[in-house]
Amino acid sequence: MKFRFALAIAASAMLAAAGVTSAQQPIVIKFSHVVAVDTPKGKAAEYFKKLAEERTKGRVKVEVYPNSTLFKDGEEMEALQLGSVQMLAPSLAKFGPLGVREFEVFDLPYIFDGYDDLHKVTSGPVGAMLFKKLESKNILGLAYWDNGFKDMSANKALRVPADYKGIKMRIQSSKVLGDQMKALGAIPQVMAFSEVYQALQTGVVDGTENPPSNFFTQKMNEVQKFLTLTNHGYLGYAVIVNKKFWEGLPADVRTALDGAMKDATKYANDIAKKENDDALEAVRKTGKTEIITPTPEQRDAMKKALIVVHKDNESRVGKETIAEVYREVGFKP
Ligand code: LMR
């Protein structure tokens, strides 16, 4: 009896070492992100959890931590590399500090006309090249998820570049975005997403840029009097995992999770536009923020001021990477 007990212990230890856990001990995937649940990313993360748990029949448990409750910007990448969290979906504008600056090609102003352009790039050679670059950092890229196109906000009306002169604008940790604000005469300030509401409220910064879904779900309409529909740039995500963890999963579990991710990606990209349209409508309804639609002349003036950012960042983002994206989307500078 004693011997059989010892055998069972040894066997379960061996299985655990091989990454196989018993029914009582599911494989836990902590999935941390910084936005609200009621956003394209928040909803897609929940959908992935549902599919992953169903399809692995409970062998995998996905714990989603929204709203920076587990890790904030500036902490989460390191936490992923160390294995304190297994899955993240940072904005493509947040990979520069990790040393993969080519991701900032997505931040170039006016480079994409719409979601179709984006999908040409994420499903093409540039999308694949970017994921390849993550591997040496113990990170695996699984998918690209859409959010939407950004609008500028402040407590003053922002119509033309002159309106930006001297105002402090919060940005994500991307040098391209810093250059974008500087090209408008504004002062960029990198700040974690979780700190933006308070910074706007207390005047640490004057304004920011967001897709409507982030603007509305962070209640920025309470602290920003004007939102200008500039649509000047894109914000989307790369879903990434700790490479060692992912590759150590039992093959059947990994297959099920890859399938769940594929379906969650379709879901994310299907809902993104509507989520943003609805959020903009919701901002309008609150009546707290005036929504400005720029005239064609104002839009042209913004474009003219911002297009220099492409050339200025050739050495950072890669001349070839930019040229490839231009080709894929048919962009003519
Ligand atoms: C931001 O920091 O503004 C965004 O990256 C937040 C997000 O994840 O959408």
DSSP 46-94: HHHHHHHHHHTTTSEEEEEE-TTSS--TTTHHHHHHHTS-SEE--BGGG
- If 0-12 CB within 10 Å is exposed, 13-18 middle and 19+ buried, where does residue 254 land? middle
Consecutive 10-residue averages of pLDDT for the chain (333 residues): 47 47 79 98 98 97 98 97 98 97 98 97 98 98 98 98 98 98 98 98 98 98 98 98 98 98 98 98 97 98 98 97 97 88
Report the separation in Å between the CA atom of 75 and the middle of ligand 1, taken as the mean of its atom positions. Answer: 14
What tens digit of pLDDT does each residue of 238-293 get? 999 999 999 999 999 999 999 999 999 999 999 999 999 999 999 999 999 999 99
What pLDDT shows up at residue 7? 47
What pLDDT shows up at residue 332? 87
Count of other CB atoms within 10 angstroms of residue 137: 16
Q: State the closest ligand 1 atom to the C-alpha of 172, by its place in the atom list counted from 1.
A: 2
Q: How many angstroms separate the CA atoms of 139 and 95, rounded?
A: 12
**Residue located nearest, by CA, to atom 2 of ligand 1:** 193
User: What pTM, to 2 d.p., does this model score?
Assistant: 0.92
**CA atoms 81, 85, 86, 91: torsion sign:** negative
Q: How many angstroms separate the CA atoms of 125 and 31, rounded?
A: 27
> What does DSSP assign to residue 223?
T
Q: State the closest ligand 1 atom to the C-alpha of 94, by its place in the atom list counted from 1.
A: 5
> What does DSSP assign to residue 193?
G
C-alpha distances out from residue 144 to 64, 106, 147, 148, 305, Å: 18, 12, 10, 12, 29
Q: State the closest ligand 1 atom to the C-alpha of 39, by its place in the atom list counted from 1.
A: 9
Probe residue for ligand 1, chosen from 31, 34, 146, 197 as the CB with the greatest number of ligand atoms within 8 Å: 34
Q: Please give all residues whose beta carbon lies within 6 A of any atom in ligand 1, as ranges.
A: 34-35, 91, 147, 172, 193, 214, 235
> What does DSSP assign to residue 113?
S
Report the separation in Å between the CA atom of 91 and the middle of ligand 1, taken as the mean of its atom positions. Answer: 6
Probe residue for ligand 1, chosen from 235, 237, 240 as the CB with the greatest number of ligand atoms within 8 Å: 235
Probe residue for ligand 1, chosen from 150, 172, 190, 275 as the CB with the greatest number of ligand atoms within 8 Å: 172
Residues in the chain: 333
Lookup result for tokens 């000047």:
232
**Residue located nearest, by CA, to atom 3 of ligand 1:** 193
Report the separation in Å between the CA atom of 215 and the middle of ligand 1, taken as the mean of its atom positions. Answer: 10
> What does DSSP assign to residue 203?
T
Q: State the closest ligand 1 atom to the C-alpha of 89, by its place in the atom list counted from 1.
A: 8
CB 310 within 8 A of CB 325: no
**Residue located nearest, by CA, to atom 5 of ligand 1:** 91
What pLDDT shows up at residue 24? 65
